[in-house]
């Protein structure tokens, strides 16, 4: 268990959603994780969708004893009809998220790209809401990814939509090390 003042811990327990088509959802959650880790909170990020290549955040998190990132999800986008295997991976990742949240070991748990998994029909939003409803007290949760379903938006306490105004991808700038990954 983390050794933080009880007053800090007892204010936690809200649910954030970072969604929309503009850049900044995963990076906002990492920024929050960085802030929380600095205050001694135990931070866990479970990634539902990350290609296998090395991400800068995986390297950074290794510098913090109280910031853990687990890339457990799919390594590819899903087209209209999901494959059995994709559903299984998403379900297993949700089960792991449940186990980690319910263990009470973490103060802040970030479910990165979980919204995509719901909008692609790999996960049922009602199941995710059910997991959140049953969680122990004083655990702050962040759900990131495009297309947050309405059930999730309704359940959350804080919802931010990143609006796409411009993205350099549209003028041919590919993902850059240290900025996009």
Residue 16's binding partner out of ligand ATP, Mg ion, none, with CB under 5 to 8 Å set by partner kind: none
Stretch that binds Mg ion, among 24-32, 50-58, 75-83, 98-106 (CB under 5 A): 24-32
Q: Answer yes or no whether residue 25 interacts with Mg ion by CB under 5 A.
A: yes
Distance CA 89, CA 58 (A): 20
Query: Could you tell me the CA-to-CA distances from 169 to 4, 8, 22, 67 in Å, in that order?
Result: 42, 40, 11, 30
Phi-psi domain of 47 (left: phi exceeds 0; alpha: psi -120 through 50; beta: other):
beta
Q: Pattern 13-42, binding to ligand ATP, x per CB under 6 A?
A: --------xxxxxxx---------------
- Contact (Cβ atoms closer than 8 angstroms) between residue 146 and residue 21: yes
Residue 34's binding partner out of ligand ATP, Mg ion, none, with CB under 5 to 8 Å set by partner kind: none
Q: Answer yes or no whether residue 50 interacts with Mg ion by CB under 5 A.
A: no
- Contact (Cβ atoms closer than 8 angstroms) between residue 109 and residue 139: yes
Positions touching ligand ATP (CB under 6 A) are 21-27, 113, 146, 162, 164, 167, 169, 175, 180-181
């Amino acid at each position: 268990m983390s050794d933080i003042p009880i007053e800090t811990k007892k204010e936690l327990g809200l649910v954030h959603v970072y969604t929309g088509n503009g850049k900044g959802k995963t990076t906002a959650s990492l920024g929050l994780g960085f802030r929380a880790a600095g205050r001694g909170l135990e931070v866990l990020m479970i990634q539902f969708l990350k290609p296998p290549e090395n991400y800068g955040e995986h390297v950074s998190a290794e510098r913090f004893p109280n910031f853990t990132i687990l890339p457990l999800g799919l390594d590819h986008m899903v087209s209209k009809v999901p494959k059995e295997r994709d559903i299984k991976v998403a379900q297993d990742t949700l089960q792991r998220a449940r186990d980690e949240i319910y263990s009470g070991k973490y103060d802040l748990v970030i479910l990165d790209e979980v919204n995509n998994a719901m909008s692609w029909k790999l996960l049922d939003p009602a199941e995710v809401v059910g997991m959140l409803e049953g969680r122990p007290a004083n655990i702050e949760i962040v759900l990131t990814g495009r297309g947050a379903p309405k059930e999730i938006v309704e359940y959350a306490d804080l919802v931010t939509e990143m609006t796409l105004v411009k993205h350099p991808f549209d003028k041919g700038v590919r993902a850059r090390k240290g900025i996009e990954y």
